[in-house]
């Protein structure tokens, strides 16, 4: 298992890659799978440095390019990543109420 510092670095890296995601769905799914596996390794109530590393990914997961992606598999992995982010930040909500409503609506459709 990677050290905390390595995990933070890998999270920063996927956040950077998600900022300009691949257009190929297969490549995007691979990147999102990697993101999900990294998020699964983050403990609840993490350190500030871990939260800082997570911040770009947290913001990207609720952008339209992911929430409204035409591929259903992409939407499923994005939902899983967002669920992990919610677990990590509990008991605090990772997003404000309006953004959580948008997120819920995006996946209920």
Model confidence pLDDT, tens digit, residues 21-63:
999 999 999 999 999 999 999 999 999 999 999 999 999 998 8
- Of 70, 66, 94, the C-alpha closest to 78 is 66
- Of 2, 92, 22, 12, the C-alpha closest to 55 is 12
- From the number of C-beta atoms within 10 Å of its C-beta (0-12, 13-18, 19+), residue 73 rates as middle
Count how many domains the chain has: 1
Range of the domain at 51: 4-108
For 62-99, write each residue's pLDDT tens digit.
Answer: 888 998 899 999 999 998 999 899 899 987 766 666 66
């Amino acid at each position: 298992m990677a050290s905390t510092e390595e995990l933070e670095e890998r999270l920063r890296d996927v956040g950077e890659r998600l900022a300009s995601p691949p257009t190929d769905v297969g490549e995007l799914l691979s990147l999102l799978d990697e993101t999900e596996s990294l998020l699964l390794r983050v403990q609840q109530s993490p350190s500030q440095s871990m939260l800082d590393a997570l911040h770009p990914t947290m913001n990207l997961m609720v952008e339209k390019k992911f929430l409204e992606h035409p591929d259903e598999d992409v939407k499923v992995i994005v939902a899983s990543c967002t669920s992990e982010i919610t677990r990590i930040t509990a008991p605090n909500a990772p997003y404000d109420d309006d953004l959580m409503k948008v997120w819920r609506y995006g996946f209920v459709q």
